[in-house]
Amino acid sequence: MKKNFLYLTRPGIDTHQEPVVYMREDCHVCHSEGFGAQGRVEVCTARGSIIATLNIVTGNLLSHEKAGLSEAAWRLLGAQENDKAFFRHAPPVDSMSVVRGKLYGKPITPEGAQGIITDICQGRYSDIQMAAYITACVANNLNLTETIAITRAMVNVGQRFDWGEGRIVVDKHCVGGLPGYRTTPIVVAIAAANGLVMPKTSSRAITSPAGTADTMETLTHVRLGFEQMRKVVEQEGACLAWGGSVSLSPTDDIIIRVERALDLDSEGQLVASVISKKVAAGSTHVLIDIPIGATAKVRSTSQAETLADLLRKTGEALGLTINVLFSDGSQPVGRGIGPALEAADLLAVLRNQPGAPADLRARSLTLAAALLEMGGLGDADKCRQLAQQTLESGAAWRKFEAICQAQGGLRELPVAAFTHEIVADRSGVIAMINNRVISRLASLAGAPGSPAAGVYLRVSVGDVVEAGDALMTLHAEAAGELEYALDFYQTHSDVVHIEAEVV
């Protein structure tokens, strides 16, 4: 009988999250096991085993004794060049029966939820199985019990911080942020300057031109490991880390990527994502901000109330105190949209610079005050004053600097090589700025991949403009990206809607 193993190699193919194994068409293992393209195969080495999707190689990419692994598979297995690997048909993923049950209307039990999340965490779901899970959650929306079960399961598969018995640990989260709405670093600085513990992790952009982690990365090092994050928080009371590097809710990134590709949102899954990360961060009191607006993610008060209720009840089931604030989601906040442009706005607010965006400042103070109140620092009036003082005295800026220093130093902001000013084609009043279209424009200009790229707004709703006045400036790091954004603008010039003034 022929030997049933191959030696692993790393052809250097990045398939993002789905583990892929590459095997020759004429390979003896494929033949004896009866493997076919896109089959699910278990790859076992002395280091452990993973499930991967099979791609069949018909040319000479691989030598006869080798099987290749994609980057994701290589990482997941912790493989080394020439590891000896055995292969077999992947056993059926048990928890897919829970997904199928959900599709036919059967609720997900706590055990079922743990099965799904553990299997996702261990890379046992193929991308299409992930898609089926997400679609099932959208079609037969998760109820409260199921949402709580999924949340617990997501916490269970990751690491979790413990900041000490009885200690108040605060956090904030914004559901469906607006372009430029980068309050988090300001709120964290004010809270920490007042002695609160705030171990903040943020995400990168999913579909938007910048996430808080992208913006913070233009200013400091955000890829903190678990112990590094603990050290920063113990020293400064707070941090501004990228959640992906801390692995607090490791299934979250996997789920979000497929949701994004499908452009599908399950409310229950969204709540589980948010709450699981807060619990894992060791938070006790969480302020949630939901902007409402025609072109925001949440479009109506009733939609916001349903979401708030689910967030509150799920949080409470996991031992958190949750406060929810509704805010104005009718237009972008601040001037800059894109990592470095947003960083410049928040620096201006923290440094009390003249010309700092007043809307960003006011909204950051509102959120900071609410958080100070949750942290037990006094009533609403007192906390409002406290937040303002902390900002105006420079204490918030000093705390922000100290956090950045603890994370590895404060950086100079990158500047875009290419800019282009877009002007008003007529006179009138700015009646509307479309959040979705402006985000797309900043993305096409290269944000967040190119950190200096994005849109710098020169107007707000209600401003009066003359034909020829600047509406916004596009920033790009590459000429091609600038051109791409401009092309898009040609067909979407109503992104800033100007109405003729009635005299």
Least separation in angstroms between CB 271 and a copy of itself? 18
Between 146 and 236, name the residue whose CB sits nearer to a copy of itself: 146
Least separation in angstroms between CB 280 and a copy of itself? 26
Between 19 and 237, name the residue whose CB sits nearer to a copy of itself: 19
Give DSSP secondary structure letters for 452-471.
T-EEEE---TT-EE-TT-EE
Give DSSP secondary structure letters for 236-288.
HSEEEEEHHHHTSSHHHHHHHHHHHHHT---HHHHHHHHHHHHHHTT-SEEEE
Residue 495 DSSP one-character state? G
Place of tokens 């400091």: 220
What one-letter code names the amino acid at 13?
A: I
CA atoms 462, 344, 375, 286: torsion sign:
positive
Give DSSP secondary structure letters for 351-402.
TT-TT--HHHHHHHHHHHHHHHHHTTS--HHHHHHHHHHHHHTTHHHHHHHH
Least separation in angstroms between CB 24 and a copy of itself? 10
The secondary structure element, H or E, covering residue 324 is strand 321-328
Between 53 and 212, name the residue whose CB sits nearer to a copy of itself: 53
Least separation in angstroms between CB 59 and a copy of itself? 3
Between 119 and 481, name the residue whose CB sits nearer to a copy of itself: 481
Least separation in angstroms between CB 55 and a copy of itself? 5
Which stretches of the chain bind a copy of itself, using CB under 8 A?
1-2, 4, 10-18, 22, 25, 31-34, 36-38, 40, 55-61, 70-71, 92, 96, 100, 103-104, 126-132, 134-136, 138-140, 257-258, 261-264, 443-444, 446, 449-450, 478-481, 483-484
Least separation in angstroms between CB 262 and a copy of itself? 5
Sequence-ordered list of residues with C-beta below 8 angstroms from that of 67, at least 6 positions apart, any chain: 6, 7, 8, 9, 21, 22, 23, 27, 29, 43, 85, 87
**Closest C-alpha among 148, 106, 191 to residue 374:** 191
Between 7 and 195, name the residue whose CB sits nearer to a copy of itself: 7
Between 176 and 185, name the residue whose CB sits nearer to a copy of itself: 176
Residues carrying an active site annotation: 265
